[in-house]
Structure 1
Amino acid sequence: MWGVLMSVVAIVLMQSGGLANLQAMTLLVALPFAMLMLLMCFSLWKGLSADKKYFDTKVNPTSIFWTGDKWKERLEQMMNQTQEKDILRFLKHTVLPAMRELRQELIGKYDLSVQINTLFDQDEPAVELVIQKDLMRDFMYGVKSIGREVSEQLINDDNLPHIQHSMTYEPYTYFFDGRVGYDVQYMDQDELIADMLKHYERYLSLLDDVGQELMAHEQTELAE
């Protein structure tokens, strides 16, 4: 259809005014068509970005701890939109007791220097477990409340009655070396302790390898 239309226009212009009219018309049409092409390129980029995000989205890392024993509790958590007060309660009644239990074991049995930082007065309330080292960079495992906006399309969807607020909050981990964290709201105390030990084991492995020089160098620079 497009090819036939362009052919008809070209024939009419050639018969009415010759090549000069055809060239003038081509120049006039080129600019708006170029804008259309730019719009198509932008739309294609958005589509590819959405496609990549869809296929790159992975299962929540905390789901590796899930078993069939607590599936109803997990489902209830998933079907409730968490707010900041819910995350604050999670930090106080789940994360903090887990850190205290691990701290007691590390101090009482292994004589390590461990402290817990409670940062509830910040814009993003957080709790941190810090294992201190004299010459190396301290190990730190933190959990903080992160807020994110919810699209109106989800709020207005009648098939998603549990989504009612424009903001939702999640407890996200953060670490001493700045790695990207993840949502831990589905973990219980024992699972949180296991997760902290997993990252501490990684930290110890770094101390025993090249990471020792790297972290010692960073610590020296901070001291200077």
Structure 2
Amino acid sequence: MTATIGRRTQAERSAATVAALVEATIEAIGEVGYHGASLGEISKRAGISKGAIFRHFDSRTDLVVAAANEVRHRHIRSAAEVIRPENRTGPIDLVELMVRVRGQIRHRTNAVWFELLVAARTEADLRERLEPVARALLAEVEELAVAALSPALPADMARLLATSLIHMFDGEAIFRSTYPRPELEESRITHIAGAFDRLSGATEPVSGSGS
């Protein structure tokens, strides 16, 4: 019994260390960028020696990919909360959904995705390791969209909407740090919601706008 408790405690300590390293990696990439997030920077933020990192991760890339996966899981948990029946009183309002998606994409943790996607353009190993994470994220987002918008939108239209919104709001989030255009932001959401109403041929507007 004592040995079992000891093993469980060791596993818990290991899990806590991994969680601290992943969180420190997310914070470091978000604040100082992918190239600035060295193992020394990460270990300092986590309060864990650089050498101890290699007891849990074989390389910096392994740690970075673990951080990317954690950001993915956080996004999906946040998106799932929006569509839970107990968290809403009626059908999904597309305008409200887009506002929430935009807010999540502008969250500071999403800067990790931007940093890693840009770095992966020229780093083949990182690109290869990130591809399944990105693919899984988009697949999960698309399925959430199907669940949220059915039957107002057909499944293929819901998937198209989901990925289109992500790419649009990603670009908006990147540009707004250098060239913000707040006067277009609200009208963009309203007009896109109306466009999808018309494209889908919905008898009732998905946007909840009544138009």
Same fold by TM-score greater than 0.5 = no
Calculate the TM-score normalised by the size of structure 1.
0.28
Report which of the two has the higher share of strand. Answer: 1
Report which of the two has the higher share of helix. Answer: 2
Which structure has more relative contact order (CA 8 Å, sep 6+)? It is: 2
Q: Highest CA radius of gyration, 1 or 2?
A: 1
